[in-house]
Amino acid sequence: MKYIVFLFLLLAISCNPSEKANNPSQNISTEYLDNSNRDDQFMGGIKMVNVNTPKGDFKVWTKRVGNNPTMKVLLLHGGPGMTHEIYECFDGYFPQENIEYYYYDQLGSYYSDQPKDLSLWDLPRFVEEVEQVRIALGLDKDNFYLFGQSWGGILAMEYALKYQDNLKGLVISNMMASIPDYMKYSDEVLAPKLPPDVLAEIMKYENAEDYSNERYMELVVNNYYTRHIIRMEPDKWPDPINRGFKHLNPDVYVTMQGPSEFGVKGDATLKGWDVKDQLPKIKVPTLTIGAQYDTMDPKHMEWISETVKNGRYLHCPNGSHLCQFDDQKVFFEGLVKFVKDVDNDQFNE
């Protein structure tokens, strides 16, 4: 008899509406989890997408999570040459909101083909790659949100300037619209905040272009990264960050960004990139994300939101460049709200 009473108590608790409301997993719809009609079911959402380039055809890695006909987010990682791994924390937030999303390693990154021809690491070619991936994944103006962070933000802006008719929403995270402005902010605002002796030693290696020196990397990681990239001590960095750095492709990174950790220098292909005067052409609903301690000026990020035709700004007061980790709650609350507001036609309310 005691067991029967106990079972009734369990049944009462499981059927309590307030318990369901407090359990995010209960909010995930059956349709969201049903992959029976998807062509990537056999591979658990993974699809290798063929990309045509001036140097031949290659494969890039993508992975879908969830199903939603009106909210599909394609994630553009930074670097260049980083990987999708730094967005694994999206698994903790998007599924319970029934948002479909796609991990994607750009050409040259760890899970995709890695050709050696350096001429492939070219911004216009990457824009065409994203368009080919969009088509392969079946994304369109009724469901396609493009999220780009850091270098991915550059790529997202350039994609929107050419293909915004294919977009439902755009997210520019932690990336200014001008490399020269970013360099100025780094040199005039961030660098002077470092301890003078640390800055002097870093600049010694910078001036000698001795970027591979272990001491240079030690100084940068322990004094700059922990202030402006991810505000945690290196031994506390989340595993996806460590794997992302381990898997970074230096050929892509150095060709486009340059060898320095203090900005875009040398003959890097992104040096001089600037689209500030083109931002008013972007009319699609746009969210810009800035962080108080970022390598990117948060005031500039807010300015972008005011300069595009239909923008909103999200500020992460405790975050840095990777604010999806060091100001996670604020980051995801604002990002989810943007996606849902656009989907519900409430973006301008």
Catalytic residues, by residue number, are: 150, 294, 321
For the segment 57-81, the average pLDDT, to the nearest whole number, is 97
Question: Which two structure tokens, joined as six digits, stand for 266?
Answer: 């040398």
Give the pLDDT score at 27. Answer: 65
Residue 325: which of 214, 229, 250, 189 has the closest Cα? 229
- Range from 8-22, 50-64, 197-211, 263-277 that averages highest in pLDDT: 50-64
- Angstrom distances, CA of residue 198 to CA of 209, 219, 294: 17, 7, 19
Residue 263: which of 145, 180, 343, 170 has the closest Cα? 180
- The overall average pLDDT reported for the chain is 92
For the segment 259-272, the average pLDDT, to the nearest whole number, is 88
Give the pLDDT score at 349. Answer: 63
Residues above pLDDT 90, as percent of the chain = 87
Residue in the structure block whose two tokens are 């915004």: 164
- Positive or negative, the CA dihedral 213, 219, 222, 224 is negative
Contacts of residue 282, defined as CB under 8 A and 6 or more positions apart, other chains included, come to 157, 160, 161, 164, 170, 308, 309
> Lowest-pLDDT range, 201-205, 290-294, 304-308, 328-332?
201-205
- Whether 15 has a pLDDT exceeding 80, the answer reads no
For the segment 321-349, the average pLDDT, to the nearest whole number, is 96
For the segment 291-316, the average pLDDT, to the nearest whole number, is 98
Contact status, residue 146 vs residue 171, Cβ threshold 8 Å: yes
- Whether 117 has a pLDDT exceeding 70, the answer reads yes
Give the pLDDT score at 1. Answer: 39
Predicted confidence band of residue 28 (pLDDT cuts 50, 70, 90): confident
Question: Which two structure tokens, joined as six digits, stand for 288?
Answer: 């810009």
Q: What's the one-letter identity of residue 38?
A: R
E strand or H helix that includes residue 243: helix 239-246
Predicted confidence band of residue 182 (pLDDT cuts 50, 70, 90): very high
In angstroms, the CA 96 to CA 141 distance is: 23
In angstroms, the CA 285 to CA 340 distance is: 12
Contact status, residue 313 vs residue 301, Cβ threshold 8 Å: yes
Of residues 334 and 348, more confidently modeled: 334
- Whether 25 has a pLDDT exceeding 70, the answer reads no
> Lowest-pLDDT range, 25-29, 93-97, 196-200, 215-219?
25-29
Residues above pLDDT 70, as percent of the chain = 92
- Whether 123 has a pLDDT exceeding 60, the answer reads yes
Give the pLDDT score at 261. Answer: 81
Give the pLDDT score at 266. Answer: 83
What residues pair up with 47 in beta bridges, in sequence order?
A: 62
Burial class (CB in 10 A: 0-12, 13-18, 19+), 246: exposed
Domain-wise residue ranges, the chain: 1-349
Give the pLDDT score at 66. Answer: 97
Tell me: cis bond preceding 234? Omega within 30 of 0 counts. Answer: no
When the candidates are 3.40.30.10, 3.40.50.800, 3.40.50.1820, 3.20.170.30, the CATH number that belongs to 1-349 is 3.40.50.1820
- Whether 80 has a pLDDT exceeding 70, the answer reads yes
Query: Strands, E, within 253-301: which ranges?
Result: 286-291
In angstroms, the CA 157 to CA 282 distance is: 8
Residue in the structure block whose two tokens are 């992975």: 63
> Lowest-pLDDT range, 13-17, 145-149, 209-213?
13-17
Q: What is the pTM of this model?
A: 0.91
Contact status, residue 215 vs residue 223, Cβ threshold 8 Å: no
pLDDT tens-place string over residues 234-257: 999 999 999 999 999 999 999 999
Contacts of residue 61, defined as CB under 8 A and 6 or more positions apart, other chains included, come to 46, 48, 49, 84, 103, 104, 105, 109, 111, 112
Burial class (CB in 10 A: 0-12, 13-18, 19+), 83: buried
